[in-house]
Amino acid sequence: MRAAWYERTGPAREVLVVGEMPDPEPGPGEVRVKLATSGVNPSDWKARTGSRPMIAPRVIPHSDGAGVIDKVGDGVPPARVGERVWVWNGQWKRPFGTCATMIAVPGAQAVKLADDVSFEAGACFGIPLLTAYRALTTDGSVAGKRVLVTGGAGSVGHYAIQLARLLGAAQILTTISSEEKAQHARAAGADAAINYKTEDVVERTKLRLDRRAEGFEACQVRSREPLLNIQCLLVRPLDGLGRVLRGIDRLLADARQTEKVGQRVVHQAGRRGLSSPKRRGRFDLALRDDGPSSHDEGG
């Protein structure tokens, strides 16, 4: 197979190597996916730059991707061959991720992708989409409630807005930092976008709240965004039911639960037209030897 890998950490252009590696073989309970696209998340490029020790002498990066199952291991229904899927956590606690033309993963980590959802969109699911879903639902349903999504133009925030709408939120507010990002967030389904650089978020949110809604949920989707204190000010005086959802950078620990979540989310995506965010994290698998790089720092 064709792959990009690194054997030491550092800047992409200095450490990534593109070449041939043996095709992976699926073990018991695994499937092999012929990848069409690979998604890049911050955890991927941070690991490549040295944020944590290398898990093996050679690492193929990237956790998320999409493609078609072309081979299955023992215990997996042969009918899965030919199935369009999206892959999550492909490189979590494993040396070889999705930055290759093939990957072998447990069957639960290759989730069926609806026919009308592109491989490009599928590669943007995984970490961002499941993070958004977890943030919105970890403390109960958002149906009939008011939701504040901070950072609504980012990947996780973009999905959180769409999912909140699909899950029946009564009103969705979001914070952004420019008019371009406001348009992006409103296109995802936000009722109002508040520019936290130029507006008083607390006052603007109070003015925009629909008092007919029963609850208020604050969804923190970017741990480094300086809005957590603002959220606490908003939630506490407005509604005793309000809760700030924290720690959404953690994926679901239970693989079976995550598989069910992923199947439900993608089923909705296929039916309702869930869209992918700006594809700043997409990696094209037309790998070349000249100047291999995936996601430059800070991308």
H or E, element range at 186:
helix 179-188
Greatest mean pLDDT range, 40-44, 60-64, 90-94, 137-141: 60-64
In a domain, 266, yes or no: no
Domain that residue 183 falls in: 128-245
For 55, counting Cβ atoms within 10 Å of its Cβ (0-12 exposed, 13-18 middle, 19+ buried), the class is middle
- Asked if residue 85 lies in contact with residue 15, where contact means CB atoms within 8 angstroms, the answer is no
Which residue would you say has higher pLDDT here, 82 or 225? 82
Same domain, 233 and 157: yes
CATH number at residue 213: 3.40.50.720
* Highest mean pLDDT out of 93-107, 121-135, 237-251: 93-107
Residues 28, 9: Cα–Cα separation, whole Å: 32
Residue 20 lies in a domain: yes
Q: Does the residue 152 lie in any domain?
A: yes
pTM of the entire structure? Answer: 0.71
Query: For residue 257, is pLDDT > 80?
Result: no
pLDDT band at 84 (very low <50, low <70, confident <90, very high): very high
Q: What is the CA radius of gyration of the chain?
A: 20
What is the C-alpha to C-alpha distance for residues 171 and 147, in angstroms, rounded to an integer?
6
Do 135 and 68 fall within a single domain? no
Question: Is the pLDDT higher at 248 or at 166?
Answer: 166
Average pLDDT of the chain, as a whole number = 76
Specify the pairing of strand 102-106 against strand 30-39. Answer: antiparallel
* 146 compared with 285, residue with greater pLDDT: 146
Check whether residue 110 and residue 152 sit in a common domain: no
Query: Does some domain include residue 159?
Result: yes
Q: Is residue 140 domain-shared with residue 158, that is, in the same domain?
A: yes
Residue 289 has pLDDT above 60, yes or no: no
First to last CA, the chain: 27
Q: Binning pLDDT at 50, 70 and 90, where does residue 250 land?
A: very low
Express each pLDDT in 107-130 by its tens digit. 999 999 888 888 988 898 888 888
Share of the chain above pLDDT 90, in %: 41
- Same domain, residue pair 140 and 187: yes
